[in-house]
Structure 1
Amino acid sequence: MSVPLYQAKAEMFRTLGHPVRIRVLELLQAGPLPVRDLLSEIDVEPSNLSQQLAVLRRTGVVTSFRDGALVMYALSTPDVADLLAAGRRILGSVLADRDGLLAELKAHSPAE
């Protein structure tokens, strides 16, 4: 029995619901990186990064390959970068709307 599309989408978004995973994906937008470079950019224990990379790999969001002695990670598709960009735009819109509402509230609040 196959999983409904909405359930598969929910699982993908749950995968993205961790700050370390998002940071890894942001860093990989520039191209494949070895684990050591990811560790130097993300303030987490190696074991924690390893766990988060395993989740991303298991769900197919990233791929891994060997380059000599290095294990390299890369986005599985450029669509992942597009999704991160869409998230950034949505967040910017939401925050801009909140700022606008806050300014409007302040402008219309009674003088104390």
Structure 2
Amino acid sequence: MSHNLDIQQFKADFFKALAHPLRIKILEILAQGDKSVNEILELLELEGSAVSQQLSILRSKNIVIGNKEGNRVIYSLRDPAIIELLSVAKKIFNNHLIDTITILDKVNEMKS
């Protein structure tokens, strides 16, 4: 029983670590390949402190890893399965969106 609770706690902590739009965006960027902080900043068009803070949280939860190369740190996803997770989340979002559009279409048909 405690093993199941451990897994549930891991999942809860894992999803908590993902529960921020900027962290999700960083993961989507890293899903396309390893990037330095400067490359992430350029793609996000943001200033450094917010991105560094979010990268630090992702690192502390072992979701991303940072490897020093010279004077820069290159970030990568610790587990490529995160790419699949983001893809599944997008599918769920799209299904939800399609359901919402279908309901709105039905409502609009009833009005006309």
- TM-score past 0.5 threshold: yes
Aligned to 1:7: 9
SS of structure 2 residue aligned to 1:108:
helix
SS of structure 2 residue aligned to 1:4:
helix
Could you tell me the percent identity over the aligned residues? Answer: 32
Count of residues in correspondence between the two structures: 110
TM normalised by structure 2 equals 0.91
1:73-112 residue pairs with structure 2 within 5 A? Answer: 73-109=75-111, 111=112
Rounded Cα–Cα distance in structure 2 between residues aligned with 1:63 and 1:101: 43
Rounded Cα–Cα distance in structure 2 between residues aligned with 1:68 and 1:81: 27
Deviations 1:53-100 (A, max 9, x none): 010001111011011221000000110100000000000000000000
Rounded Cα–Cα distance in structure 2 between residues aligned with 1:61 and 1:107: 46
Deviates more, 1:41-50 or 1:88-97: 41-50
* AA partner of residue 21 (structure 2): P
Aligned to 2:48: 46
Over aligned residue pairs, what C-alpha RMSD do you find? 1.6
Rounded Cα–Cα distance in structure 1 between residues aligned with 2:78 and 2:98: 32
Rounded Cα–Cα distance in structure 1 between residues aligned with 2:45 and 2:34: 19
1:57 aligned to 2:59?
yes
Among candidates 28, 33, 36, match of residue 34 of structure 1 = 36
1:17 aligned to 2:19?
yes
Rounded Cα–Cα distance in structure 1 between residues aligned with 2:108 and 2:32: 41
Among candidates 62, 69, 72, match of residue 71 of structure 2 = 69
